[in-house]
Amino acid sequence: MHEVVRGASMEGQIEFVVGILDCIPKTIAYKLLEPAFSKENQISIVCQEGSIDKILADLAVHKIDMVLADMPLNSAYNIKAYNHFLGASELSFFATSKLAKKYARNFPQCLDGAPLLLPTQNSTIRRALDQWFNEIDVFPRVTGQFDDSALLKAFGQAGVGIFSMPSIIEKDVCKQFDVKIIGRTAEVKEEFYAISAERKVKHPAIAAICDTARTSLFS
């Protein structure tokens, strides 16, 4: 027991190392990884967060087993790995009660000039949001930009601005951060991918994650 407390894996357990991009909401990361904890898999999970460059570098030298990302791996990254599409979610926009009273009407036009918290330009969803705002001729006042989704939500909870998150976790966001939904859009969707060194998934934890995401979480 002393060895287990110090970090040694129990006999029969498989250590499963996952790299998670900073921009992935923590609640979604948990929901995606939860199927890996089945008794049959006997998984001991190690989660590492960081930028896509760092995480993919670790994947390339087999320091991690899988990456959770919001975009597929492309040819710009010269590593041998494969994309496994997990699913996509439309977006919900959230605000504190005070901000909701002012902006929760005529969505999405109500966002024009409204204080908005956004991911940084490094994020795929940020680029999609910028394009959408241009298409609908709505120009929010950006009050903050964040690499980390948890920090973005903390600022949203404090009333610094309106923020968006995938609709599949909107109930969790409202409950945890005491905010209200002011609108939803299906015009912008956030995608999620598992990236691994396997073209055909054989790792039991990755297989469980992919199967549950496709048949339950994003169905």
Is the Cβ–Cβ distance between 53 and 21 less than 8 Å? no
- The C-alpha atoms of residue 180 and residue 162 are separated, in whole angstroms, by 10
Is the Cβ–Cβ distance between 94 and 156 less than 8 Å? yes
Average pLDDT, integer, range 199-208: 91
Q: Which DSSP helix (H) or strand (E) runs through 177? A: helix 170-177
**77, pLDDT greater than 90:** no
| Torsion angle, alpha carbons of 9, 10, 13, 16, to 10 | -20
- The C-alpha atoms of residue 132 and residue 205 are separated, in whole angstroms, by 36
Average pLDDT, integer, range 127-148: 97
**What pLDDT, on the 0 to 100 scale, is given for residue 7?**
45
Domains of the chain listed by start with CATH number: 2-87+192-217 (3.40.190.10), 88-190 (3.40.190.10)
Per-residue pLDDT tens for 17-56? 999 998 899 999 999 999 988 756 678 899 999 888 889 9
Q: Name 111's Cβ contacts closer than 8 Å, sequence gap at least 6.
A: 93, 103, 133, 138, 140, 162
User: Average pLDDT over the chain, rounded to whole?
Assistant: 91
Is the pTM above the cut of 0.95? Answer: no
Per cent of the chain over pLDDT 70 is: 93
Angle at 65 between CA 37 and CA 21, to 5 degrees: 90
6 pLDDT band, cuts 50/70/90, is: very low
CB atoms within 10 A of CB 171: 12
**What pLDDT, on the 0 to 100 scale, is given for residue 132?**
98
- The C-alpha atoms of residue 190 and residue 91 are separated, in whole angstroms, by 7
- The C-alpha atoms of residue 164 and residue 157 are separated, in whole angstroms, by 12
Is the Cβ–Cβ distance between 57 and 78 less than 8 Å? no
